Amino acid sequence: MARPRIDRRKFLAGVALAGAAGATSDGVKAATPPVIEKVRRPSALRPSAAVAAAETETPQISVKPSGMPGSDFMVDVIKSLDIPYLPSNPAQSFRGLHESLIDYGGNKKPEFLTCTHEETSVAMAHGYFKIAGKPLLVLCHGTVGLQHATMAIYNAWCDRVPVIVMGGTDLDASKRPPGVPTFHSAQDVCALVRDFTKWDDQPVSLQHFAQSFVRAYKLAMTPPYEPVALALDAELQEMTVHDRAKLMIPRYVPTTPPQGELNAVREAARLLANAEHPVIVADKCARTANGVRLLVELAEALQAPVIDQKGRMNFPNTHHLAQNARSRALIGEADVILGLELSDYWNTVNAFIDNGEIDGTGLQESHIKPTAKLISVSSVLLNTKSNYQDFQRLQVVDIEMAADAEATLPALIEAVKQALPSSRKAAIEARGAGMKKSWSEARDRTRQAAAYAWDTSPIGTARMAMEVYAQIKDLDWSSVGGDRQLSSWPSRLWPMEKHYHHIGGPGGYGIGYGAPAAVGAALANRDAGRFSVNFQPDGDMMYAPGVLWTAVHHSIPLLTVMHNNRGYHQEVMHVQRVANRRNRVAYAGKDLGPIGTRIENPVIDFGKLAGSLGMWSAGPITEPNDLAPALKKAVQVVKAGEPALVDVVTQPR
Amino acid sequence: MIVRALIVLPVTMFFALGPAAAASAEHGKVAFMQHGCWQCHGTVGQGSIATSGGKRLAPDPLPWETFSSFVRSTNRAMPPYSDKILTDGDLEDIYAYMQSIPKPLDAKTIPLLNP
C-alpha cells in the first residue's frame, strides 16, 4: 500500500482545518481531509533554513511563468473576428483557452454560453447564423464532444451554414496526462467530421493557429457557406509566449461571393424573357434582406410566379407572385424554370412515389414538359465532398452556373430587363394580372382549409398557429422554427415579408435541431430587439431538452409552443406502408400507432419538463379555447426578456 | 343522446347511398383511430398538405364506390389496405364516420382567420 504523501503546504493547511473542525459539529469534523488522520506528526515542523527563506522572503522567480499564455494569444485571434458568442459545453481539453476567454478576454466577444450537449452548441450556432448572418465559435472535446456534435455539424453542412468548431486534444503522448485526457485525445480529431466540413486543420504552433483560424473563418464565410473544424492542441494553449510581438494576426478580408459567368447569365435572361410560362423556384437563395428585395425585383420584371421552397425566407408570401399553392401545376406547364440554390433540383421537377413498384423502389415521374428549359444557379457545385449524399440526384439542366444566387441576381435582373422584348410587354402584364387573381383565390382557399378541425381536441394545427399569431401580430416577430411539421400553417397564413420572418429548416433533417436552433436564432433576435416564436415538435425536443435550461440561464427570450402530437409522426407511415404491402398489421402494441413510433404510455408533460429547468410554462393544453389565455401570459414573459413554453396537444400535422 | 341523434341521421342517409350492411359511425371513429387513418388524415378527416396532399376525407366524402375502391387499390403515396388488414365492416364504419362529420364554419366568420 502506498504511503500517504505529505505536502508541506497542504499539511499546514490541513492542521489549520483540523483545529477549526475540532470546534464544530460532528458532521463538519467528518468532512476533515483524511490525510490529516493518517499522519502522526507534531502540529508544526520546524522549517529548514531553505524552507523558511522560501516561505518568508520575496521570491526571486515569479510563480507565474513570464510572458503570455498561448491561449491568451488565441483569444486575441478570436477577438479579431468579432465573434459574439461561444455556445459550448465545458471540457478539460480546452481548459487553457476556456480560462483565457474568461480572465483575459473578459468573457465578451465571445461570451461563453453554457450548453448541456455539444449537439446543442452547434445547432444554436446554426440558428444564430440564420438570423444574424454571423458565424459562432463552438468548443468541444475533440473526441467525445465532437462525437456528440457531429449530427448538428452535418445539418449545418446540408443547410450551407458556417459554424467554426474547435475540438480540444492533447497531441504529445509523452506529456499528456494518462487516463481521461488520453482517452480524449486522438491523432486526427477532425477526421470524424472531414466528410461534412469545408476545411479543417490541426495547428502545431501559435502562429499556425492564427493563420488557420482566420483561414477557417474566411472559408466558412465564402459561399457555399459551410462549417469548418480546427483541432486545438492542449500544449499550444498552455505554452508560454515569450515575445508576443513576433506573433502576427492575419487581417480578415471577406471573399467576394462567386457570381454567374456573364454569358451564361445573358443566355438565362434571354430564355426567361421570351418564355410564355417562366417559373422561379428558390430554396436557399436569399441570404439577406437585400436578397429578398432582389428576388422580388426579378420576379416583377418577368411577372413570373415564385415557388419558395423555404430553405430561407426568400420571397414575401403577401406578394401576388408568391404561388406556392400552385407549385405542381406551374412547374408542369413551365417552359423555363429558374432554380436558385435548390437543395434538390431533381425532386423539384420529378416525383418519387414510395409505393413499392419497380422492384420495390417506387415510381419515378417527370413533372415537366419534355421541352422545358432548366436553369440552375447554385454555389453548392463548388463543394467537392463525395461520401455523404447531400448533393442529391443528378438533374440535367440546360444552363448551370456554379455561383452564389444572391450575388448573381443583380446581373441577372439587369440582363432580363435588357432582354425583354417590347412586343412581350402586354403578355407579361397579362401574366401578372392572372397571378394576382390566382394568389387571391389561393389565399381564400387556404383560409377555408384552416377552418376544418377548428374546434377539435387534439387541437388543430391551423388553430394553434392562428391563436399564436393573434398574440404576436403587433410585435416585431420572427418565427425561428420550421413549420412543415404543422402543415406549414404559419407560412401559409401569417404575412411573412421580412428576411427574419422564418429561418427555414435543419438542412440535413437530423432530428434534435429544432429546439437548440430556435434558441440560437432567438439569441440573435434578442440583440435585434425582436420577439421569437418556435413551434417545437415533441420528438425533436426530447433529443437534448437541456437547451431550455440554457435559454433560461442566459435570459434568451423565446416563446416555445409545443406541437405535441405524441409521436414520431414522420416515421409512422413508413412502417405502415411496408406493413400494408406485406398484408400485415403494424399496430400490435398498446400505443395508437405502429410500435416504436408513438411517444405515449406515459405521455410527456412538457410543461413540467420546462418548469424543472427553470422556465415559465403552461399546459398540457388540450382544448382550443384554453389556448389564448395561456399564450397571452407566455407572451408577457417573453416580452419581459425570459423564455416561456406552452405545451399544446395537437393533431398530427 | 343529441350526439347520437346527429350521428343517426347521416348514417341513415348512408344506407341509401353506401353499402348494404349496417354501419356504425361510432365504431367507425374507433376503427379510424385504430387503423391509423387519423395519422395522415387528422381525427376528423381534415387532411394536411404534409400528409394527404391537402385532400380532405370529410365532410362530404367521396362516393362510397370511389372511396372504397381507392382504399383497397391505391398505388400512390397512401398504401392500399386489403381486407386482410382492414375488414369490409370496419371500412364501412369508417365511411359512416366520415359522413357523420359536420361541415366547418365559413372561414370569413372566424375572426382569427381574418386578422
Kindly give the residue spans of alpha helices, DSSP state H, lying in A255-384. 262-273, 289-302, 327-333, 345-349, 357-360
Least confident span in A89-93, A203-207, A218-222, B18-22: B18-22
DSSP letter, residue A650: B
What's the confidence (pLDDT) of residue A195? 97
In which element (H, E) is residue B98 found?
Answer: helix B88-100
What's the confidence (pLDDT) of residue A29? 36
What's the confidence (pLDDT) of residue A25? 37
Searching chain A, which residue's CA lies closest to the CA of residue B114?
Answer: A447
Instruction: Report whether A491 contacts A310 (CB < 8 A).
Output: yes
Instruction: Report whether A355 contacts B77 (CB < 8 A).
Output: yes
Band of residue A43 on the pLDDT scale cut at 50, 70, 90: low
Band of residue A44 on the pLDDT scale cut at 50, 70, 90: low
Q: What would the 3-class secondary structure string for A322-346 be?
A: ECHHHHHHHHHHCCEEEEECCCCHH
On chain B, the residues whose CB falls within 8 A of the CB of A484 are 50
- Whether A652 sits inside 8 A of B39 (CB atoms) is yes
Task: Chunk chain B into consecutive blocks of 10 residues (it has 115) and report each block's average pLDDT, rounded to whole numbers.
Answer: 39 48 89 92 94 90 96 89 95 97 96 94
Where do the domains of chain B lie, and which CATH numbers do they carry?
Answer: 2-113 (1.10.760)
Relative to beta strand A240-241, strand A68-69 is antiparallel
Q: Residue A650: which of A552, A539, A542 has the closest Cα?
A: A539
pTM of the model: 0.89
Measure the CA angle with vertex B85, ends B83 and B89; round to 5°: 55
Measure the CA angle with vertex A494, ends A491 and A497; round to 5°: 80
Q: Give the CATH class of A68-246.
A: alpha beta
- Residue recorded with cell 397512401: B78
Domain boundaries, chain A: 8-56, 68-246, 262-382+393-440, 452-566+603-649
A218 Cα distance to chain centroid: 19
What's the confidence (pLDDT) of residue A42? 57
- Whether A593 sits inside 8 A of B39 (CB atoms) is yes
For helices A144-158 and A118-132, give the axis angle rounded to 10 degrees. 30
| Per-residue pLDDT tens over the stretch A233-272 | 999 999 999 999 999 999 999 999 999 999 999 999 999 9
| Per-residue pLDDT tens over the stretch A71-87 | 999 999 999 999 999 99
ipTM of this predicted structure: 0.85
What CATH architecture is A262-382+393-440?
A: 3-Layer(aba) Sandwich (3.40)
What's the confidence (pLDDT) of residue A577? 87
Q: What nine digits make up the cell of A503?
A: 429561418
- Percent of chain A at pLDDT exceeding 70: 90
Three-state secondary structure call for residue A276: coil
* CB < 8 Å from A in window 73-112 of B: 75-77, 79-82, 84-85, 104-108, 110, 112
Three-state secondary structure call for residue A463: helix
On chain A, the residues whose CB falls within 8 A of the CB of B37 are none
DSSP string, A501-514: SB----SS--TT-H
> How far apart are the C-alpha atoms of B11 and B23, rounded to whole Å?
7
Who's near B1: CB < 8 A, 6+ residues apart?
A: none
DSSP letter, residue A45: P
Arithmetic mean of pLDDT, A568-595: 86
Who's near A23: CB < 8 A, 6+ residues apart?
A: none
- Whether B85 sits inside 8 A of A583 (CB atoms) is yes
- Whether B49 sits inside 8 A of A577 (CB atoms) is no
Radius of gyration over alpha carbons of chain B, in Å?
Answer: 15
- Whether B110 sits inside 8 A of A451 (CB atoms) is yes
What's the confidence (pLDDT) of residue A364? 84
State yes or no: pLDDT of A7 exceeds 70. no
Three-state secondary structure call for residue A201: strand
Who's near A118: CB < 8 A, 6+ residues apart?
A: A88, A89, A138, A140, A141, A145, A146, A148, A149, A152
| Per-residue pLDDT tens over the stretch A279-319 | 999 999 998 999 999 999 999 999 999 999 999 999 999 99
Three-state secondary structure call for residue A524: helix
Relative to beta strand A306-308, strand A278-282 is parallel
Best of A353, A444, A452, A632 to disrupt the B interface by mutation (most B CBs within 10 Å)?
A: A452
State yes or no: pLDDT of A18 exceeds 60. no
What's the confidence (pLDDT) of residue A315? 98
Band of residue A53 on the pLDDT scale cut at 50, 70, 90: low
Least confident span in A22-26, A93-97, A519-523: A22-26
Arithmetic mean of pLDDT, A454-476: 98
Best of A580, A587, A599 to disrupt the B interface by mutation (most B CBs within 10 Å)?
A: A580
Q: What would the 3-class secondary structure string for A226-248 be?
A: CCEEEEEEHHHHHCEECCHHHCC
User: Would the CATH topology of A68-246 be identical to that of A262-382+393-440?
Assistant: yes
Instruction: Report whether A642 contacts A557 (CB < 8 A).
Output: yes
| Per-residue pLDDT tens over the stretch A484-514 | 999 999 999 999 999 999 999 999 999 999 9
Band of residue A24 on the pLDDT scale cut at 50, 70, 90: very low
Measure the CA angle with vertex A169, ends A87 and A176; round to 5°: 135
Measure the CA angle with vertex A339, ends A337 and A340; round to 5°: 145
What's the confidence (pLDDT) of residue B14? 43
State yes or no: pLDDT of A26 exceeds 60. no
DSSP letter, residue A184: T
CB pairs under 8 A between A and B: 114
What's the confidence (pLDDT) of residue A52? 63
What's the confidence (pLDDT) of residue B18? 58
- Whether B39 sits inside 8 A of A579 (CB atoms) is no
Torsion of CA A423, A425, A427, A429, to 10 degrees: -170
> How far apart are the C-alpha atoms of A481 and A309, rounded to whole Å?
15
Chain A: give the shortest CA distance to residue B98, in Å. Answer: 13
Q: Count the Cβ atoms, other than its own, within 10 Å of residue A479.
A: 25
* Domain at A452-566+603-649, CATH from 3.40.50.970, 3.40.50.620, 3.40.190.10, 3.40.720.10: 3.40.50.970
> How far apart are the C-alpha atoms of A31 and A33, rounded to whole Å?
6
> How far apart are the C-alpha atoms of B80 and A580, rounded to whole Å?
7
Three-state secondary structure call for residue B8: helix
On chain B, the residues whose CB falls within 8 A of the CB of A449 are 54, 56
Relative to beta strand A531-537, strand A477-479 is parallel
- Residue recorded with cell 387541437: A459
Most confident of A7-21, A577-591, A613-627: A613-627
